[in-house]
Amino acid sequence: MVDVKNIRKSICQMAKHLYDKNIADSSGGNISVRDGNLIYITQRRSGEVYQWLIEEDSILVTDICGNPVIGSVENITREATTHYYIYQNFSDIKAIIHCHPLYMMVFGAAHMEIPAVSECTRDHLGDQPITCTPEVEPGSENQAIEVVKEFKKRRAIDPEAGLIVNIPYHGVFIAGRDLNSTFIAIEAAENAAKIIIYRKLMFHDDPRADFSIHQKLSRGYLEKLEEQKQYCKIGQEYSDAFGKKRIYDGKCPYISKKF
């Protein structure tokens, strides 16, 4: 269990980070974190009034139906409905970011999907393209319904898929297991949009430019690579850090088991 002060501080730090990275802008957006039955969420107009330099005491705390525990109901953002709908439908989700990343919004304005064109995108969001909802009224219940609907489609295809969707002319909703992984995923998605746009600008329709993915790396494969700690082949001769000749046997002779 994370205490109130740390959750609020992490949200404030993330808000500034998103703004500094040009993933969030001053026109809107919001961040929330779930801790048990409590939802911590940025107050309305945090971007417009404060340019995301927000204070910990400004973070509202509500229950999962939006009833205030700390803070005033008048300060709850209109986008909160979508946050609550997501938490109510996905018990594993602990953090949500709604923001206006420019390059992703280019695809949203064209009602186009964003393919997973980078290893990072596929690792954090899966192989599926990032889809768009229909055009909906910003902050409405209809928006919340359409976002949850797209998230359920992603999970139906891949139960471990990252949850993200583009809303035409409006922005992006992304949900994850914690605030940090949610940020990494939205950054990866924005970079995927950049890659597609830049490669079109650079190569146009040049037939030599091969845009296909030749090798699909599963999430399990990437996780296995992270666990792998063998850097040499068994039996390989090498000079250790002290210049002594050794035959690599898969063990490090200088690591003590006493800590």
Report in angstroms the alpha-carbon separations of 215 from 109, 199, 218. Answer: 30, 19, 10
CB 99 within 8 A of CB 186: yes
pTM equals: 0.83
Residue by residue, pLDDT tens for the chain (259 residues) are: 455 569 999 999 999 999 999 999 998 899 999 999 999 999 999 988 889 999 999 999 999 999 999 998 889 999 999 999 999 999 999 999 999 999 999 999 999 999 988 888 888 898 899 999 999 999 999 999 999 999 999 999 999 899 999 999 999 999 999 999 999 999 999 999 999 999 889 998 888 877 676 666 666 665 665 566 666 788 888 887 788 888 888 776 555 544 4
Can you give the pLDDT at residue 1? 44
State how far the Cα of 38 lies from the Cα of 83, in Å rounded to an integer: 12
Q: Which residues make beta-bridge pairs with 62?
A: 39, 68
In sign, the C-alpha dihedral spanning 171, 177, 183, 185 is: negative
Euclidean distance between CA atoms 220 and 196, whole angstroms: 26
Domain 4-203 indexed as CATH 3.40.225.10: yes
SS3 state at 34: strand
Q: Give the alpha-carbon dihedral of 235, 236, 241, 246, to 10 degrees.
A: 50
Q: What does each C-alpha distance from 208 to 203, 204, 214, 230, 245 come to in angstroms?
A: 9, 10, 15, 37, 48
Closest CA relative to residue 192, chosen from 132, 131, 122: 122
Say how far apart CA 139 and CA 155 lie, in whole Å: 23
Pick from 57, 36, 38: which is nearest to 46 by CA?
57
- End-to-end CA distance of the chain, in Å? 28
